[in-house]
C-alpha cells in the first residue's frame, strides 16, 4: 500500500527530523514498516540491529553521550517484549528515550491478530508515559508531549513509549491539523533555584569543615561549574558511574581511592543530580556518620530519596552552582585544609601504588592473565578523547578502579550487564573520530554478542576486549565460599575472536600478557575489532570479596550491612 506525504508515518518521520533526530536504532517488522520507510525517505539513518534490546541500549548510549534524545523503533509483540530490558534500564538510569512501535490494525485488535498485545500495560511502570495513538490527527500532539516528558520537562527524564496501529500509520493527517508548534523544537528549560534555598546552602557549605561533593546523572553538562565549586570550596570530590569523566582524575579534589573514609568523615555532603541508592549506602548514617546533606537536582526524585537534605535545591545543576558561587562571593570557606590534604595525599599514594602494581602483577596459577594487567594495557592507550564502556559483574569491579577515560559508560544502577557491545556501537557511530573501547566480561558479552554483526555492517569503529575467564566469576567465588560447591556458573573458554572473524571483524586471541600491547595496537588499526583475552580465574575482585553476590539484608555490601546493623543496635 502506497504511503502518502501526509500519512501518519510521514508525519512521525517529519517530526523526528524537525526535532533533530538523525538516527533510529531499530529492527524491522511489518507493523512498523510505514515508519521505517518514511524515516528513510526523510534521510534519517537506520541502525538496524539483531535484537530489540540492543536497539534500546544503543539509543540510551547515544542519549547519554550526546545529550540528545535517543530513539528506538521496535515492532509489535515479541519486538516490544524483547525491548523491555532496555526500557527498564533507561528508566532506572533516567535517560531520555523515545521508543516507538506498531500494532495490528484497529479492526483486527482483540480478535487474535498477529502479535496483538496491550503493549502499554506492559511498559507503564518503566516509562514516563505509555500511550497508544489511534486517531491520526493526534499523532503530532502525542509526539510533542511524549518528547517533553522524556526530556524531563516537568518531571524526571526517562523513556517514553508510543505505539500506533498500522491503519493509523497509513491514514491521512489533514495538513491543517499539522500545527507548526508541534513540529518546532523546544528549548530545554533552565530551572532556577529559590534564592532563599541558595542562601541557606551557601551558609551550610561555607561553614562546613569537611565538605564532600558527589556527582551523578544531573551533573552531566555542568563540568565547568562543578570544578568551579570544588576550586572555590576546597571540597573533596567523588564521582559515580553516572558521571565518570566529569572532573579530571588529576583534579586536586578527586579522592576516589579514599571513597569510604571520605563518606564516613564528611560533615556536609552535596549530591548533584544523584540518588542516594544502594551504591551510596542509601545515605545511611551508618556509613555517612553525622553528615548533613545538600541535595541539588532538576528532578524531584533526586532531591529526597532515602535522606532529606538540610537544604534541597530544585534547579538545573549548572544554573544552581553558578548561583551558589555568585551568592558566596568572596566569602572564605571553613574547609579543614589538613583534612582535605590528608585525603588527597593518601588518594595519590594509593592510586600510584595501584598503577604500578597493574603493570607487574603476575599471571594466575592457571596461566591466565590477571584482569588488572589487561586493564593496565588498555589504560596506556586511552588518550584525551577516548570513550570507555565497561560491562560485566566481576570485571566491572576491577575496571571501576583500573580504567579511566574522559567519557565512560557502564551497566548503571540497574546492574544491566550485556550493554557493552550495543553501547560501544552507538558511541563509535556518534563519535567515529574518537577511540571507543568496550571492555567486557565473557558472560556479559554473550548477551548481545550477535551485535558484532551490526558493528561490521555499519562500520562502527570500536575495539571490543573480552576478558574471558569461562565463568560467572563472582557467583563461582560466592558458591565456593557460601555453599561449598560450584553449580551452573561455569562457562566454556569459547574463542570469541573466531566468532568475530566469522562476521568479518578483525579478531585475535591473547593468552600471554606480553602480547597485549601489540594486539591492542593492531585492533586500533583494524576497527571494528575484537580481542579475546584469556584471564585467570584466580583473581578475586573487590565486589566478590564484599559479599555483593550473596545480597545482604540491609545494605548492598557486607561491610555496610555490618555497619548498618551496629548503628541500628546502638540507636
- Catalytic positions, written as ranges: 475
Q: Alpha helices of 329-464 — where are they, by DSSP H?
A: 337-360, 371-379, 394-402, 420-430, 442-447, 452-457
**Nearest residue to 129 (alpha-carbon basis) of 113, 116, 142:** 142
Please answer whether residues 52 and 420 qualify as being in contact, where contact means their C-beta atoms are separated by less than 8 angstroms. Answer: no
Task: Give backbone dihedrals phi and psi of 116, rounded to 5 degrees, phi first.
Answer: -90, 110
DSSP string across 224-273: HHHHHHHHHHT-EEE--TTSTTSS-TTSTTB-GGGHHHHHHH-SEEEEES
Distance of alpha carbon 260 from alpha carbon 281, whole angstroms: 11
**Cα–Cα distance between 213 and 225 in angstroms, integer?**
12
Buried/exposed code over 118-127 (b: 16+ C-beta within 10 A; e: otherwise): ebbebbeebb
Contact status, residue 193 vs residue 320, Cβ threshold 8 Å: yes
Phi and psi torsions of 90, nearest 5°: -65, -35
Task: Write the DSSP string, 31-86.
Answer: GGHHHHHHHHHTT-EEEE-SSHHHHHHHHHHHHHHHSSPEEEE--STHHHHHHHHH
Q: Which three cell numbers stand for residue 235?
A: 571540597
- How many whole angstroms from its chain centre is CA 126? 16
State the pairing for strand pair 45-48/23-26: parallel
Amino acid at each position: 500500500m502506497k504511503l502518502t506525504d501526509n500519512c501518519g508515518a510521514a508525519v512521525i518521520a517529519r517530526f523526528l527530523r524537525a526535532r533533530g533526530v538523525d538516527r533510529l536504532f531499530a529492527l524491522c517488522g511489518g507493523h512498523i514498516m510505514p515508519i521505517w520507510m518514511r524515516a528513510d525517505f526523510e534521510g534519517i539513518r537506520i541502525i538496524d540491529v539483531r535484537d530489540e534490546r540492543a536497539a534500546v541500549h544503543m539509543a540510551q548510549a547515544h542519549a547519554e553521550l550526546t545529550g540528545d534524545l535517543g530513539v528506538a523503533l521496535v515492532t509489535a509483540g515479541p519486538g516490544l517484549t524483547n525491548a523491555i530490558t532496555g526500557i527498564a534500564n533507561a528508566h532506572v538510569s533516567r535517560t531520555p528515550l523515545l521508543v516507538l512501535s506498531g500494532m495490528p490494525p484497529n479492526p483486527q485488535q482483540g480478535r487474535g491478530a498477529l502479535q496483538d498485545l496491550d503493549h502499554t500495560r506492559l511498559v507503564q511502570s518503566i516509562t514516563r508515559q505509555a500511550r497508544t495513538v489511534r486517531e491520526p490527527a493526534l499523532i503530532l500532539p502525542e509526539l510533542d508531549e511524549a518528547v517533553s516528558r522524556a526530556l524531563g520537562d516537568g518531571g524526571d527524564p526517562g523513556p517514553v513509549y508510543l505505539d500506533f496501529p498500522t491503519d493509523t500509520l497509513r491514514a491521512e493527517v489533514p495538513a491543517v491539523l499539522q500545527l507548526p508548534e508541534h513540529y518546532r523544537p523546544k528549548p530545554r528549560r533552565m530551572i532556577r533555584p529559590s534564592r532563599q534555598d541558595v542562601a541557606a546552602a551557601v551558609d551550610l557549605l561555607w561553614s562546613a569543615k569537611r565538605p564532600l561533593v558527589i556527582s551523578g546523572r544531573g551533573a552531566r553538562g555542568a563540568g565547568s561549574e562543578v570544578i568551579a565549586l570544588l576550586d572555590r570550596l576546597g571540597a573533596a570530590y567523588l564521582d559515580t558511574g553516572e558521571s565518570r569523566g566529569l572532573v579530571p582524575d588529576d583534579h586536586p579534589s578527586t579522592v576516589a581511592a579514599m571513597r569510604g573514609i571520605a563518606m564516613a568523615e564528611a560533615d556536609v555532603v552535596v549530591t548533584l543530580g544523584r540518588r542516594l541508592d544502594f551504591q551510596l549506602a542509601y545515605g545511611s548514617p551508618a556509613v555517612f556518620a553525622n553528615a548533613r546533606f545538600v541535595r541539588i537536582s532538576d528532578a524531584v526524585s533526586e532531591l529526597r530519596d532515602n535522606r532529606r537534605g538540610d537544604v534541597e535545591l530544585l534547579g538545573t545543576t549548572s544554573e544552581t552552582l553558578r548561583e551558589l558561587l555568585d551568592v558566596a562571593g568572596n566569602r572564605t570557606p571553613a574547609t579543614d585544609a589538613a583534612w582535605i590534604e590528608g585525603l588527597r595525599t593518601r588518594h595519590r599514594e594509593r592510586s600510584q601504588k595501584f598503577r604500578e602494581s597493574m603493570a607487574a602483577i603476575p599471571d594466575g596459577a592457571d596461566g591466565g592473565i590477571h584482569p588488572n594487567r589487561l586493564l593496565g594495557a588498555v589504560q596506556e592507550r586511552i588518550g584525551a578523547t577516548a570513550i570507555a564502556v565497561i560491562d560485566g559483574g566481576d570485571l566491572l569491579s576491577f575496571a571501576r578502579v583500573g580504567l579511566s577515560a574522559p567519557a565512560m559508560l557502564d551497566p548503571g544502577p540497574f546492574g544491566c550487564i550485556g550493554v557493552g557491545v550495543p553501547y560501544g556501537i552507538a558511541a563509535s557511530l556518534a563519535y567515529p573520530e574518537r577511540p571507543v573501547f568496550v571492555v567486557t566480561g565473557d558472560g556479559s558479552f554473550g548477551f548481545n554478542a550477535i551485535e558484532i554483526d551490526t558493528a561490521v555492517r555499519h562500520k562502527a569503529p570500536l575495539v571490543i576486549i573480552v576478558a574471558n575467564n569461562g565463568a560467572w566469576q563472582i557467583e563461582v567465588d560466592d558458591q565456593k565460599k557460601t555453599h561449598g560447591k560450584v553449580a551452573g556458573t561455569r562457562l566454556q573458554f569459547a574463542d570469541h575472536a573466531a566468532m568475530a572473524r566469522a562476521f568479518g571483524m578483525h579478531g585475535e586471541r591473547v593468552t600471554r600478557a606480553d602480547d597485549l600491547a601489540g594486539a591492542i595496537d593492531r585492533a586500533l588499526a583494524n576497527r571494528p575489532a575484537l580481542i579475546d583475552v584469556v584471564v585467570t580465574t584466580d583473581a578475586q575482585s573487590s565486589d566478590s570479596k564484599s559479599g555483593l553476590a550473596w545480597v545482604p539484608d540491609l545494605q548492598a555490601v557486607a561491610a555496610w550491612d555490618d555497619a548498618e546493623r551496629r548503628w541500628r543496635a546502638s540507636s
